[in-house]
Amino acid sequence: MTRAAPEPRKTLDPDRVAEWLATHPDFFVGREGLLQQLKVPHPEARGATSLLERLVHDLRSRAEQAEWRLEQLLESARHNEAQYRRTRELVLALLEAENNDALGQALATQLAERFHTPAVALWCPASLTDVEPQPPQAPRQVLDDHAGQRLAALLDGRTSRCTRLTPTDWKRLLPHAAAPRKAGSCAISRLTLGEPLGYLVLASPDPDHFRASMDTLFTEYVGDVVARLLVRQAHSPHG
């Protein structure tokens, strides 16, 4: 008598098993012993570990990641609060300036002390300085065609920009500040309020202080405040 050939061994499709378990979350209720028998790959070493140990490991890992994300959020909140306070003190100091020279000096002082920006230049056209009895004092400079062309070239058609600043450009655009031996960096913002009002230049001898990839929102904000105060001073009887 010929023995019948054994039927091929059938295996379950892992995806179908996973799908079935997902739709039957109560399968292990009353089968806790089965949970203890299940073995899964160890996440950090060769071999296997129990399902419960793996779950504990995964939960601990998730808790550590959540704690790290929370710390990042708290650190970001602390940074934003400190940035707000520094910006607030800067704006209040600018509002208290009685004239354009005081405005420029307050700008330079606040940026140096609160934002680690060692050099500032405020370039304004002669029309904003004609009403003043004396030439402007640093960091304010009278904007001429030569400086205007160079500043426009550095901006390259943009409203504001962070870029490298060669020693030659530093001497040209920040004549009141000691030039570094090597290239520094700067953030430039065009000042406008219905009409061109000049340029604001924030500079550092550190070539990486103002990187090209940096956001210029802060520089533009300070420029907007300065532009409005320049216009206010120009229309003030006290200049």
Query: Do 61 and 137 reside in the same domain of the chain?
Result: no
In tens, the pLDDT along 109-161 reads 999 999 999 999 999 987 765 555 567 888 999 999 999 999 999 999 999 99
Q: Is residue 156, in this structure, part of any structural domain at all?
A: yes
- Which of these three, 72, 95, 118, is where a domain ends? 95
Q: Is the pLDDT of residue 237 over 60?
A: no
Alpha helix ranges (H) inside the chain: 14-23, 32-37, 51-95, 100-115, 145-155, 167-173, 217-234
- Which of these three, 55, 73, 95, is where a domain ends? 95
Q: Is the pLDDT of residue 7 over 80?
A: no
- In this structure, what CATH number is given to the domain that contains residue 130? 3.30.450.40
Q: Is residue 71, in this structure, part of any structural domain at all?
A: yes
Q: What is the dihedral of CA 192, 161, 168, 137, to 10 degrees?
A: 40
Phi and psi, residue 185, nearest 5°: -145, 160
Query: Do 70 and 102 reside in the same domain of the chain?
Result: no
Query: Do 102 and 191 reside in the same domain of the chain?
Result: yes
Q: Copy the structure tokens of residue 169.
A: 């450009």
Query: Do 41 and 105 reside in the same domain of the chain?
Result: no
Q: Is residue 19, in this structure, part of any structural domain at all?
A: no
Q: Considering only CA atoms, which of 49, 22, 21, 25 is closest in space to residue 37?
A: 49
Mode of pairing for the β-strands spanning 140-143 and 119-125: parallel
On the question of a cis peptide bond just before residue 139, with omega within 30 degrees of 0, the verdict is: yes
Least confident of 49-63, 64-78, 110-124, 174-188: 49-63
First to last CA, the chain: 120
Query: Do 184 and 121 reside in the same domain of the chain?
Result: yes
Our count of domains for the chain comes to 2
Q: What is the mean pLDDT of residues 195-214?
A: 94
Query: Contact at 8 Å (CB) between 98 and 238?
Result: yes
Task: Please tell me whether residue 201 adopts helix, strand or coil conformation.
Answer: strand
Query: Do 221 and 152 reside in the same domain of the chain?
Result: yes
Query: Do 91 and 108 reside in the same domain of the chain?
Result: no
Q: What is the mean pLDDT of residues 32-36?
A: 69
Q: Copy the structure tokens of residue 232.
A: 């206010």
Q: Cβ–Cβ contacts within 10 Å for residue 87, how many?
A: 17
CB-count burial class (<10 Å; 0-12, 13-18, 19+) for 207? middle
Q: Is residue 18, in this structure, part of any structural domain at all?
A: no
At which residue do the structure tokens 């570094």 appear?
180
Query: Do 82 and 58 reside in the same domain of the chain?
Result: yes
Query: Do 112 and 174 reside in the same domain of the chain?
Result: yes
Query: Do 119 and 216 reside in the same domain of the chain?
Result: yes
For residue 157, the enclosing domain spans 98-234
In tens, the pLDDT along 68-85 reads 999 999 999 999 999 999
Query: Do 171 and 102 reside in the same domain of the chain?
Result: yes
